[in-house]
Amino acid sequence: MQVVLAKPRGFCAGVNRAISIVHRALERFTPPVYVLHEIVHNTHVLEELRHRGAVFVEELEEIPTGAVTVFSAHGVSRAVAERARNLGLRTIDATCPLVSKVHRRMIRLYDQGYDVLVIGHKGHPEVEGTCGQVDGPVAVVSRASEIDTLQVRDPQRVGYVTQTTLSVDDTEELLKALRRRFPQISEPERTDICYATTNRQAAVRRLADQVDLILIVGSKNSSNSNRLREVAQLRQTPAYLIDDAGEIDPRWFAGVHSVGISAGASAPEHLVTGVIDWLRRQGPVTVMEMEGEEEHISFCVPELDGEPTGLQPGR
């Protein structure tokens, strides 16, 4: 069996930053440290942080007054931040800087009087946080078929932002439909789909042309991991999304001579190693990494010494 590893794969800079923030909070403050929603969408990452003293909650009201509380990498609405202030929580914002950039564009468009569209998956935490950056109504668009029925105040003043973890291919089709309906639509200078999502999808697209089957390591609720599986399937290559090697079905490999492996942006590399080890237990394998984009992006992680900016009651 030949095993080909996608490059790049796994953790992105925003995920690294968010996880590091929780680790530093656990080191600096007496556990438990509370995290609103999943810090990132990966069951193994969450379990490791729980073991160290992180408590994941879905509602701010579950958190004791004065407790250290981390907002997840997906970002939160202004209403959530305000409610945290009113509850007296000491908050740390682990929102990915690329998501924060989308928030700033959202606010800028709204302040300039545009009808703002959010392209993304309804109900996803990132989309809810983005919509909640402004006080007025915001339309979430998930499919090109929804565009013809959009109601806007002025077709000449429409703008959009995009969830950072969407499929590049699917989004391009949706944008073509938006441009047809609103020829003067305000677009970002560069796509809001983040570099990590774009790079990982491009790598899987190339990988799908080289192998018989692809395994994507990532959790079922991870948007970017699901998009990687879809990218492979669009190339007519069978692909499966697995949390870890324990979810592999040996029946998938009937007649398969080459396997590609990638991992979503919130999946740690040791899970990829576990998949390779599983394959080795089935028989001889050769492992190679494909050529791909080198990623050197990193984001600053706050020190959390004392009570710094960004960690204050009501901040």
Catalytic residues: 126
8-state DSSP, 278: H
Helical H segments across 39-167, by residue range: 43-52, 78-86, 97-111, 125-131
H or E element in which residue 213 lies: strand 213-217
Nearest to 241 by CA among 230, 251, 254, 250: 230
Q: How far apart are CA 96 and CA 197, in angstroms?
A: 13
How many contiguous H segments (helices) and E segments (strands) does the chain have?
Answer: 9, 13
Q: How far apart are CA 75 and CA 224, in angstroms?
A: 16
CA dist 20 → 23, 27, 66, 136, 140 (Å): 5, 10, 22, 34, 31
Q: How far apart are CA 64 and CA 66, in angstroms?
A: 6
CA dist 209 → 5, 228, 242, 290 (Å): 13, 14, 21, 12
**CB-based contact 168:190 (threshold 8 Å):** no
**CB-based contact 14:267 (threshold 8 Å):** no
